[in-house]
Structure 1
Amino acid sequence: MTELSDDQKRDFEAAAFRRLVTHLRQRGDVQNIDLMNLAGFCRNCLSNWYREAADAEGVTLSKDAAREIIYGMPYAEWQALNQTEASDAKKAEFEAKRPKDH
């Protein structure tokens, strides 16, 4: 295995994160509930983790500001453009699989 410096790890992790965020922005057809049911996290989780990382460094970010960073637009705008009503089956699956920290 290639030995990476801490700086390289940080830079590669940041690049992978940016690519994930870009991918999720391009896939507005993929609903957050689908992500949650399949992977246990969604765009809102990413925005919460982003905000927590900022907070750990003493930077205050509002929930709305963190979501705008992840969604690439205000959350309400993304919802209006992309969000659809989840089926009862998807809602039930979410409740059954819901992580305890959500």
Structure 2
Amino acid sequence: MDKTDNSAIEAAVFKRLLSHLDSRKDVQNIELMNLAGFCRNCLAKWYVSAAEEAGKKLSYENAREIVYGMPYDEWKEKHQTPATAEQLAAFENRK
């Protein structure tokens, strides 16, 4: 597989990941962090980093809007629930 094909496939996989996360708004970021070691905010940070490596400018807020499918504050208001004591303890234990 050549580099162009590989990049196109990687882009399709990333879009599918974002679509899957969009369909699972019930899965909170802290749960993702506790189970997988990354969350939607991590994806946004990686997006900014990749843009910079490509010589492009992209703000963190714009990247979060791409990842969340809406402005972060809107997503947070509509979908984020308070972390439970158990989730917070698991997060602290991961550090």
TM range (shorter): over 0.9
- Return the letter of the residue paired with 1:78: W
Structure 2: which 5+ runs fail to align?
none
Q: Tell me the equivalent position of 2:19.
A: 22
Question: Matched residues in 1 for 2:16 and 2:62: separation?
Answer: 19
Question: Matched residues in 1 for 2:18 and 2:49: separation?
Answer: 17
Q: Tell me the equivalent position of 2:10.
A: 13
Cα RMSD (Å): 0.9
What is the number of residues matched between the two proteins?
A: 95
Identical-residue share of aligned pairs (%): 53
Question: Matched residues in 1 for 2:81 and 2:63: separation?
Answer: 22
Q: TM-score, normalised by structure 1?
A: 0.89
- Could you list the structure 1 runs, at least 4 aligned residues long, displaced by more than 3 angstroms after superposition: none
Shift of 1:27: 0.9
* Larger helix percent: 2
Structure 1: which 5+ runs fail to align?
none
Q: TM-score, normalised by structure 2?
A: 0.95
